[in-house]
Amino acid sequence: MKLSLSIVFILLIFSGLYSQSTFIVVDSIHIEGNKSTKAYIILNELDIAVGDTVYFNDLAVKFMDNRNRILDTGLFVDANFNIKDIDTRTGNCSLNISVKESLFIYPRLIFDLTDRNFNEWYYEHDADLSRINYGLVLEHKNITGNKDALQLKWQRGITHKYELEYTRPYFHKNNKLGLTFNILYKHSKEIAYNTFNNKLVFYRNKENNLLKQFRVSVGLTHRPGIFDTHGFTIAYYDNDIDSKVLDYNKYFFSNGVSQRYFSLSFSMKRDKRKYKMYPKGGFLIGGQITKSGLWIFNDLNQLDISLNIEKYFYINRKYISAFIFKGKIRAFGDDSPYYNNKAIGYDQDLINGYDLYVEDGKHFMYLKTSQRFGLLSGILDLNRHIFIKQFKYIPYEIYLSINFDTAYVNNNVNFVNNSFNNRVLNGHGVGLDMIIYNSLFQINYSINHLGEDGFFFYYRSTF
């Protein structure tokens, strides 16, 4: 990318010697290297079109932003922009985009934890290997070249899982509508039946399945522009527990041992982050409204409204300032069962210093701040050692982060033995963030309001 940009600027300087033009006019756009991916998938990520005028001073930022959006698709490991056939008098030129496709189809082994995250498994359960679920995932990220992905999952262990998911962001190149479909069945011989002292309490039965879950969902997506996405999803849930669970928590479900309901959700977001894996500027704002309990199946009746805002300040190559806010309110459904009353500590809703804890409740909010300082970056050349061409060159970046998080969870049910509810929680610490290829590895040293500290580990990938 640096080489391509330098060539661009040499051409621009050269042309400036013979012309008064301070801009280019894009006559045509040519794409090469997309052996499997349809060209319109790349074009849909661009904010440059044929006929556009771009000033020289804006070219570097313009090319970098468009490159990052192409890489954010997860279909490419590299993308380079170059200008060709410049008319030094008028500024007319051709824009050439060269991409390197990633590996689309691959199987991978599952080593999925029964616990919420690696840290809970390692610290609370002493890295018990029996709590690791194992299996196989078969995935193709680009079946027809339309960025449509198919994933099949087979899992064994404490939790057995079977899942099929298909997504297609565009029905065809001139359409902004897409489709998502998911079907899941899983059952487990262990269940977190309650929360005491802000930690999950488990019950296991080696003979019987304690929790069975079936879900099927269909969604329609609409992408009116490169930064905006709207989603509309309808889902059906069928959950069952063993009657023994009610002996430990009679409020686990609202109606005995079964829970069946439809849900309807609408989401929208504007995402102008630059490089989504580890944003280096820009912002995201999004919201979702979900009504659970519709029509004949309404064992659950609640309405949740959530908002999330992210803002990243790119100060320079060595310093990024990040702010992440999320909040959720339950408009109605005060008598929601324990199983559907999750707040902080689940999925991606984590705050520094509280990785070993959960906070349940109907309303919550948190603010995460991070000051990130670049330490190292480059490309690891494995050309002589790796025969798979997509992995011959591995880009990497390493940042030092200073983090401070604050959160609040409101819970008027079952909070007597959970002192973290209905109070402000603060956590802080330092971390090392490593972006390697399409994966993010993080090691944080964090402290919570009780003075408890420790090292915590995180992993995220576009694979």
Find, among 74, 69, 71, 133, the residue nearest to 106 by Cα: 74
Task: Give the pLDDT of residue 175.
Answer: 78
Give dist(CA 353, CA 448) in Å, integer.
4
- pTM for the complete prediction? 0.85
The answer, yes or no, to whether residue 396 has pLDDT greater than 60, is yes
Nearest to 41 by CA among 123, 147, 191: 147
pLDDT tens-digit profile of 54-93?
Answer: 988 888 889 988 998 998 898 998 899 998 888 888 889 9
Distance set, CA 194 to CA 249, 310, 351 (Å): 7, 32, 21
- 3-class secondary structure, 7: helix
Calculate mean pLDDT across residues 264-291.
94
Task: Name the pLDDT band for 453 (thresholds 50, 70, 90).
Answer: very high
Q: Check pLDDT > 70 for residue 21.
A: no
Average pLDDT over residues 345-368: 94
Pick from 44-58, 318-332, 356-370: least confident = 44-58
Ranges 278-287, 380-389, 435-444: which has the least confidence? 380-389
With 90 as the cut, is the pLDDT of residue 438 above it? no
Residue 176 class from Cβ within 10 Å (0-12 exposed, 13-18 middle, 19+ buried)? Answer: middle
Query: What letter represents residue 96's amino acid?
Result: N
- Residue 389: pLDDT band by 50, 70, 90 thresholds? low
Q: Tokens representing 340?
A: 């559907």
| pLDDT, tens only, 98-113 | 999 988 887 888 888 8
Phi, psi of 15 (to 5 degrees): -65, -30
Mean pLDDT of 453-462: 87
For 57, other C-beta atoms within 10 Å of its C-beta total 10
Whole-number pLDDT of residue 11: 47
Q: How far apart are the first and last CA of the chain?
A: 23
Q: Where are the domains of the chain?
A: 2-101, 169-340, 346-463
Q: Which two tokens stand for residue 395?
A: 């880009």
Contact 184, 159 (CB under 8 A): no
Bridging pattern class, strands 177-188 and 211-225 = antiparallel
pLDDT for position 155 = 96
What local confidence, expressed as pLDDT, does residue 387 receive? 66
What are the DSSP E strand ranges found in 295-362? Answer: 297-316, 319-332, 342-344, 359-360
If you count DSSP H runs as helices and E runs as strands, how many of each does the chain have, helices first?
5, 24
Question: 60 and 6 in contact (C-beta within 8 Å)?
Answer: no
What digits encode the pLDDT tens for the residues 178-220?
Answer: 999 999 999 999 999 999 999 999 999 988 999 999 999 999 9
In CATH, the number for domain 169-340 is: 2.40.160.50
- For the ranges 234-238, 376-380, 387-391, 395-399, the lowest mean pLDDT is seen at 387-391
Q: What is the pLDDT of residue 394?
A: 80
**Pairwise CA distance, residues 148 & 135, whole Å:** 23
CATH superfamily of the 2-101 domain:
membrane protein fhac (3.10.20.310)
Q: What is the pLDDT of residues 120-179, one digit of tens each?
A: 999 999 999 999 999 999 999 999 999 999 999 999 999 999 999 999 999 877 778 999
In the chain, what percentage of residues exceed pLDDT 70? Answer: 92
On the question of a common fold for 2-101 and 169-340, the answer reads no
Q: Within 13 A of 155's CA, how many CA atoms are on the CB side? A: 25
3 state SS of 6: helix
Using 50, 70 and 90 to split pLDDT, how confident is the model at 462? low
Q: SS3 helix, strand, coil % of the chain, rounded to 5? A: 15, 55, 30
Q: How many other CB atoms sit within 10 Å of the CB of residue 427?
A: 25
| Segment 285-294 mean pLDDT | 95
CA–CA dist 262, 235 (Å, integer): 6
Q: Which residues contact 108 (CB under 8 A, 6 or more apart)?
A: 136, 137, 139, 463
Pairing of strands 23-32, 92-101: parallel
8 Å CB contact between 361 and 410: yes
pLDDT at 277: 86
Query: Tokens 């909040």 identify what position?
Result: 327
The pLDDT-based confidence of 334 (bands split at 50, 70, 90) is low
Residue of 179, 187, 189, 143 lying closest to 163 (CA atoms)? 187
